Amino acid sequence: MSFPFPDPPTALSLADARRSLSVTRSSVAELSTKIDAAEAALAQVVRESQYVISELQIEKQMLEKQLLDTMAYLSPIRTLPQELLRNIFMWCFEEHPCCAWVLAGVCPAWRALALKMPRLWSKIRLLTTQHASADTIRLWLERSGDTVPLDIEIFLRVSTKSSASESTSQRRRRRSLSPSPSPPPWPMSFAHNPAVPAHYVIPHTPISPTGLAILPPPQTPIILPPSPGGPHDTWLSAHHHSSERPSRSSLHWGHIAIYYLAEQMHRWERFIFRFDKHFTSMGALKSINGDAPLMKEFEVSSAEAAFYPEWQWLPNASANATLVLPKLETLTLQYTPFKWSSPMLRSNLHSLNLRALPTAHLPLDRILFIIANNPALESLTLHFQGVLPPILPLAPTTLPLLKTFHIGGHYILSQLVDSLSLPVLDSLTLDIEAREPIEDTISSLLARSSNPPLTHLSVAYGSSSGSSTFYYGPSGIVISWTTLLLELGGLESLYIGGTPLEPLLMALGVPDDDNNGMTAWACPKLKALGMRNCHAHSEGVVKLVQMVEARNPAQSNGGSTSASMVGGVTPVRLKTLELYDCASLGQDVVEWLKSRVEEVVCTEPEYER
């Protein structure tokens, strides 16, 4: 559009421009008014349409809910008799002990039925902290009724400010290690179940940065119940993460929880309580006292040693006390106080696991007294850091049913082993602070027991104190592997710690009178070999490769290749090889080992990292 006025302007053109400017402004104002009116009309139409859509959506939701309700009403499960539904609930219960919390949350009818089934609430599986509500236990017990036997497993994580503080160098060093480089920090029986629990009711609990926890084995999906006090309750105190001072709930958690549990001792069938650290209200365990006519298994275990007074609780009952424990078969007490003369330790047990406090110093004959009073033992685990010489002479003791024997701690315990005869022994673990060649103790035990069918042997392997505890002189914990290993023809797994690497590997290699003095294959059935803190010299890696090459020759294209036959015996192939802090192998050697052995785990010595 061309400009209508001449240039330069004249008086007449300026007057025309002023008139045109006035007309244009009026037109712009008029158009703006029309636009505003049109936009307002459009907004009104949109509002009305949105309102109509909203009403239609509400109506649709109501119809969809009605549709779902009708479909649910027509569902075949509604016609299922309650007796069959009860059976289905019980099948779920057998696989998932905590399923009652989920079943009770499905619908009012299922909740009512679940609350009428005390058996459904009879297995308590709880991983918690002392900051969580102890009312969870009360609610669980109330729903289990008054007569149903109780199967209780409670695992308490005790969080402390010191455990949360860790230096950057410590974290960096831990990240650099391979998986499972060292024995677990908790006692023996804890080490069998180190995985994260999966079928336990778990209030929201933070995991300690140090990784210390006492955990049950995984089985089924995690079940999270509602907070027992209502929807606005929280599992943890608000001060749990921020305050350095313990909350009031944490100070009294043990007294509340154990009070509820001890009231139901007459219904205990299994009672397992484990905790990873000393906690404020731990004295509440003293209230575990009295009769438990249904109890088959009892365990109170700590992963950390601490000082305890002599509580007057069930394991500390006097020798003359009358305890009603007719069905007790399994007893585990780890880093908790007990008396050697307690009637609880004279209950004809089938499984006994005792890890004494460091401050406890028992004469050796009294430890033997505990064993002799349980002749039906099938599994025995003992660990005593402090042991006194025997007061009375040690009497020879035979345990005709014992298959699993673990013993560790003070060197005097080797005299205890020398007093035992175990004719059906299958698994032997020795973590004794040896002062003499441990091979004599093992050989004498086997000979005295008429050479039982031993398939597992572990010597100085589980100790966290390092090889120095077990290394005495140039030959280590075993003087002659030749003599010992020839006696173990049925051995399938061997785990050794704190011994020179080369003699052990030579003894397990090809029999050769000139090199290793062996006339037959040592342990021809050996499938698993583990070594920890076994110091190696220059030939250590070479001997390792030679041993694996002899037992696990290279696979041929047409199938497996067997090792050479000596004296009509061919050894089986190794399936598991573990070396922790033994020698610096090199990545090429590790890859070669993995090509010959199914499972290989290696960590380098600490001074090499």
Query: Mind listing the pLDDT tens digit for each residue in 413-448?
Result: 999 999 999 999 999 999 988 777 788 889 999 999
Cis peptide before 315 (omega within 30 of 0): no
Token readout for 416 is: 């205890």
Q: Judge whether residue 135 has pLDDT over 60.
A: yes
Q: Is the dihedral of CA 38, 39, 40, 42 positive or negative?
A: positive
**Contact between residue 562 and residue 553 where contact means Cβ atoms under 8 Å apart:** yes
- State yes or no: pLDDT of 249 exceeds 70: no
Percent of the chain with pLDDT over 70: 79
Looking at every residue in the chain, the average pLDDT score rounds to 81
Interval 542-569 mean pLDDT: 79
The CA–CA distances, whole Å, from 254 to 91, 128, 295 equal 33, 12, 21
pLDDT at 230: 37
Q: Look at residue 355 and tell me whether its pLDDT is greater than 80.
A: yes
- What is the per-residue pLDDT across 520-551, written as a single tens digit (0 to 9) for each? 888 999 999 999 988 877 788 898 999 999 88
Please report, to the nearest 10 degrees, the dihedral formed by the alpha carbons of residues 538, 541, 547, 551 taken in order.
-170
Give the pLDDT confidence score for residue 234 in this predicted structure.
Answer: 29
Quote the pLDDT of residue 560: 61
Give the pLDDT score at 597: 93
Q: Residue 513's CB: how many other CB atoms inside 10 A?
A: 8
More confident residue, 247 or 145: 145
Give the pLDDT score at 243: 38
pLDDT of residue 32: 93
Cα torsion angle, 235, 236, 237, 242, sign = negative
Q: Assign 247 a pLDDT band (cuts: 50, 70, 90).
A: low
pLDDT-derived band at 219 (thresholds 50, 70, 90) equals very low
What pLDDT, in 10s, does the model give residues 374-405? 999 999 999 999 899 999 999 999 999 999 99
Q: Report the alpha-carbon distance of residue 592 to residue 372 in Å, rounded.
A: 50
Q: How far apart are CA 564 and CA 559, in angstroms?
A: 16
Confidence of residue 189 (pLDDT cuts 50, 70, 90): very low
CA 33 – CA 484 distance, rounded (Å)? 107
pLDDT at 220 over 70: no
pLDDT, residue 516, reads 62
Helical (H) or strand (E) element with 456: strand 456-459
Report whether 278 contacts 302 (CB < 8 A). yes
User: Which tens digits make up the pLDDT trace of 315-341?
Assistant: 998 888 888 999 999 999 999 999 999
- Give mean pLDDT, residues 55-81: 89
Residue 576's pLDDT is 95
Cα 179 to Cα 360, 401, 536, 598: the distances in Å are: 34, 36, 22, 17
Model-level pTM greater than 0.85?
no
pLDDT confidence tier of residue 555, bands split at 50, 70 and 90: confident
pLDDT tens track for 447-487 = 999 999 999 999 988 754 433 344 333 334 666 788 888 88
CA 123 to CA 141: how far, in whole Å?
10
The pLDDT, as a whole number, for residue 198 is: 53
Under 8 Å between Cβ of 330 and 357? no
What pLDDT shows up at residue 241?
A: 37
Residue written as tokens 């918690």? 128
CA 484 to chain centre: 34
586 contact partners, CB below 8 Å, separation of at least 6: 541
Looking at residue 1, its pLDDT comes to 58
> What pLDDT does 513 receive?
60
Would you say 334 and 312 are in contact if contact means Cβ atoms under 8 Å apart?
no
DSSP annotation of 217 reads: P
Picking from 106, 112, 128, 117, the residue whose alpha carbon sits closest to that of residue 227 is 128
- The pLDDT tens digits of the residues spanning 101-114 come to 999 988 888 999 99
The answer, yes or no, to whether residue 255 has pLDDT greater than 80, is yes
pLDDT of res. 437: 79
User: Residue 600: pLDDT above 70?
Assistant: yes
In the numeric block, the tokens 């033992």 are attached to: 377
For the four alpha carbons of 424, 429, 434 and 438, in that order, the dihedral sign comes to positive
| pLDDT tops 90 at residue 294 | yes
Per-residue pLDDT tens over the stretch 221-238: 333 344 343 333 323 333
pLDDT at residue 279, as a whole number: 86
